[in-house]
Structure 1
Amino acid sequence: MFESLTSALVSLPFSLLDYLVIGMNLLVFLFAGYILNKNQRVKNRNNNHHRMTGLRAINLVLFLIYAVTGLVELVFSIEISHLQQISQTGLTILVAYIIYHYLQSSIIKRFGKNKEIDGEIYHSESYASEIIGLIGLILVGSIALLIIINIWNLNSWLQTTSVLGGILLILFAAREYFLGDMINGLIMHYNDSIEAGAVIRVKQFDILGVVIQITLTQTKIRDLVQKHEISISNSKLRNAIIETISNSSKKGFKDYLDFKIGYDQSPEQVETFLLSVWTKAIEQEIGLNKDTQPKVCVIDNGDHAVTWRLLYYVNNPYRILEARNHLQTTAFDLSRLEKIGLNTPVTHQILSGTVN
């Protein structure tokens, strides 16, 4: 069996360089996770996933090229020309991709930012790392392109201005798809208007979440309600009205809840009730600032009920929704114990009498 396998390999139209590229491609395919994660101090799961996908795609394309080449040679006895150039090109692309990954990781370590967001470490690109990383991509890509041009003896291609003009024309036509996002991303980085770890609210897009990362083209936000990640282009985000909730005073973020309570309850009863809600809620919710007393006030004397507002502070902006939920649940429990209705009772009675 070993002899038949050896003879089959010998009969393939591959040179020593081809086998070297195949072997290296196989090793990279098997140990891609180790290669991509080895040199990263703080890992970004999304970036790792995209880079892993790109590296595996290069591996599979190279495997497919050699598989088709060997099959055509063995079955149809058709010699594939330029196989050596194909091997050298594949090796160049593979090495350039890995070099760029390690270069980007070094730039991230030197110029990036690490943020602890809701108990989990996230990495955020800084203004400097984005610019230097883009320059690194251009340099590595240019060097790889020059090597491939020399491999295929296409030096005269560089002298053809029409080709370069076509590339510039394509870039000019595509400027609206990425240039605006890049400029807005750089402006946000430079102004520090939004940074990783900030809790923001964008009413225009119905977003309440934590900023995970700002890249040159888009901003990633983790929704506080469903815990999923949202990607929005930098140009759209910068043109929207953004409330930065985490940029609050030392007391924390000032939030409130409104309750509609009937006129049959005295102001003293309602105020005591709402303060009791807050007192009981802080025993269970660590996000509430227990050192600052809440305020109770009347917002509206409506036709059917009085709208009372409980103003309180949240010292952990990542737990804004949890704090609201605890206060709402506590209010419901205490309202049943103290016989204070939260269902605008006058309207309820009128509707009940109409139905009867």
Structure 2
Amino acid sequence: MEDPYIEFVAGWGQRILGWFLPNLNTIEWTGHIAILLWSAMMVIFSGRLFTMVENTSSTMLKMKAFRSLNFLVIILMLLDLFLLRFHQNYEQLLSKIGLSLFTTYSAIYLYSLASFHTFKRFGAEKTIDNRSVYVETYSTRIINLLLVVCATFGTFYIIIKVWGADSLLETTGLMGILVGFLAFTAPVWAPDIISGLIILNSQMLEDGDVVVIDGFPNEYIISKVSFVYVTLYDVRNNHRALVKNSRFLSGKIDNLSKIASTEGMRAKLSYNIGYPKLEGRSGSERVEAFESFMKKIDNMFSRAFEECASNEKTIQINTNKPFEWALTQTGDYALEFTMWFYFNRIPNTKVTATARKHLMGTAYKVNQAVYKASIFEDIDLATPDLANITFNDSLSVENMRNTPSAGEEQTQPTDLKNAPDNMA
């Protein structure tokens, strides 16, 4: 009883399949089935496939686009089989479109997968924001360039073969036009690619470094050195910036994350302090007064250092290096004292707030500590008022404004430009 029933079902199944499916040779059936199975597997395992390549905020969006393309390829291949069954003169246009899409996104994914493993194999491991990541190096950039070239020309070649346009492979065809276009536009993109290789080969500028670029006023964090440009984070203003690789290397670059010694990066603050009052004293008394004045200055900076060292969690200075200071300029109205201090090593970070607190926050708090110490030492950090300058022993600016001329009452202040020569 079972054998006739099975034969009946099998016979009807063959009739139905024969009615729906076209007559294709073994190679054509193998190609269609392989593409359908591959696309179905890409849809099912797309989540796992993309986590193998990257795990960023844009991964989900890329995965959805990847699934949509695979669904589209499956639909195109099924429609192609349907049209082949009912239209004898059909030229498989939909399958060619599906194969072109399949070739393109497969090449993109395989390039991403190869690039990811290249980073793992040849990239430099670096800790950024307490996370271990791989950053690009000269070797990974060279390999990625070769992968891009191979993937691009390989994809073009397969698509041309799919559409049967072999004439495009000739010297005067598409490939020749593409090579000519690249040669003609080389002065535009080649300097940036070469500059990018120089940046990576120098090993002096890496992701997470804080730099100051010649011609730009602020400090920047290097986010990524791509093929043609550098992505930067503005530390002070908290926004992103793009600079072409060739422009990035055109001037001096100060890398604040790469220090010259273990002492840390050196910074300075300058203060204008009024001259000590030494009038009416003998020579020895003036020397003693000057030494006492300089002692107060030293006490002020020492007290400021102790204040900062006691708050080392919030003030990122090298507590093993006391503040250094010197009298750097004797101006017309004030003495300029310069104080130097050393930062702790700047952490590798891509968070602008972290770099901002480390650099600007520390400098502001050191300045505040100096002002607090000046109050304790009774030192005025304000530049003396220029309106109190004495021109001679008996006449000052204030006296000139308040003293009337002989024989008349003065109602306007004296014009210093028309003052007598003996007053100038």
CA spacing shift, 1:114–1:348, aligned 2, 3 Å: farther
Q: Is the 8 A contact 2:301 2:370 kept in 1?
A: yes
CA spacing shift, 1:348–1:299, aligned 2, 3 Å: farther
Matched, 1:253 2:265: yes
Instruction: For residues 46-80 of structure 1, give each alpha carbon's deviation from its aligned partner in whole angstroms, at most 9, with x where no partner exists.
Output: xx74x766665565567679899999x9xxxx999
Matched, 1:324 2:363: yes
Letter in 2 for 1:294: F
CA spacing shift, 1:347–1:59, aligned 2, 3 Å: farther
Distance 1:144 1:256 in 2: 57
Matched, 1:216 2:243: no
Partner of 1:7: none
Q: Is the 8 A contact 2:233 2:240 kept in 1?
A: yes
Instruction: For residues 162-212 of structure 1, give each alpha carbon's deviation from its aligned partner in whole angstroms, at most 9, with x where no partner exists.
Output: 423321232123323321111111122223343344432224112323334
Q: Is the 8 A contact 1:224 1:321 kept in 2?
A: no
Partner of 1:342: 381
- Residue 295 of structure 1: CA displacement? 0.9
- Residue 269 of structure 1: CA displacement? 1.4
- Residue 152 of structure 1: CA displacement? 1.7
Letter in 2 for 1:99: L
> Pick from 304, 307, 316: which aligns with 1:280?
307
Q: Is the 8 A contact 1:262 1:345 kept in 2?
A: yes
Q: Is the 8 A contact 1:124 1:212 kept in 2?
A: no
**Segment of structure 1 superposing worse, 80-89 or 91-100:** 80-89
- Residue 90 of structure 1: CA displacement? 1.9
- Residue 264 of structure 1: CA displacement? 4.4
Distance 2:72 2:330 in 1: 74
> Pick from 261, 274, 279: which aligns with 1:262?
274
Distance 2:388 2:192 in 1: 55
Identical amino acids, percent of aligned pairs:
21
Larger Rg: 2
Partner of 1:110: 121
Distance 2:187 2:65 in 1: 28
Matched, 1:133 2:131: no
Partner of 1:179: 190
CA spacing shift, 1:269–1:138, aligned 2, 3 Å: same
**Segment of structure 1 superposing worse, 128-137 or 328-337:** 328-337
Distance 2:62 2:180 in 1: 27
Distance 2:100 2:34 in 1: 12
CA spacing shift, 1:202–1:160, aligned 2, 3 Å: closer
CA spacing shift, 1:202–1:25, aligned 2, 3 Å: same
CA spacing shift, 1:193–1:17, aligned 2, 3 Å: closer
Partner of 2:163: 152
Q: Is the 8 A contact 1:297 1:309 kept in 2?
A: yes
Q: Is the 8 A contact 2:296 2:377 kept in 1?
A: no
Letter in 1 for 2:318: N
Q: Is the 8 A contact 2:271 2:338 kept in 1?
A: yes
Structure 2, unpaired ranges of 5+: 1-19, 21-31, 278-292, 348-357, 390-397, 402-424
Matched, 1:100 2:139: no
Letter in 1 for 2:295: E
- Residue 22 of structure 1: CA displacement? 6.7
CA spacing shift, 1:188–1:200, aligned 2, 3 Å: same
Structure 1, unpaired ranges of 5+: 1-10
> Pick from 168, 192, 198: which aligns with 2:179?
168
Partner of 1:299: 328
- Residue 127 of structure 1: CA displacement? 0.2
- Over aligned residue pairs, what C-alpha RMSD do you find? 3.9
**Segment of structure 1 superposing worse, 112-121 or 284-293:** 112-121
Q: Is the 8 A contact 1:123 1:213 kept in 2?
A: no
Partner of 1:311: 340
Instruction: Please give the secondary structure, in 1, of the residue aligned with 2:241.
Output: strand
CA spacing shift, 1:152–1:162, aligned 2, 3 Å: closer
CA spacing shift, 1:39–1:26, aligned 2, 3 Å: closer
- Residue 111 of structure 1: CA displacement? 0.6
Q: How many residues align?
A: 329
Matched, 1:38 2:67: no
Letter in 2 for 1:171: L
TM-score w.r.t. length of structure 1: 0.76
Partner of 1:6: none
Instruction: For residues 285-342 of structure 1, give each alpha carbon's deviation from its aligned partner in whole angstroms, at most 9, with x where no partner exists.
Output: 3521111222111222223332211111123134233321220222333344444333
- Residue 268 of structure 1: CA displacement? 1.8
Instruction: Please give the secondary structure, in 2, of the residue aligned with 1:89.
Output: helix
Distance 1:37 1:263 in 2: 68
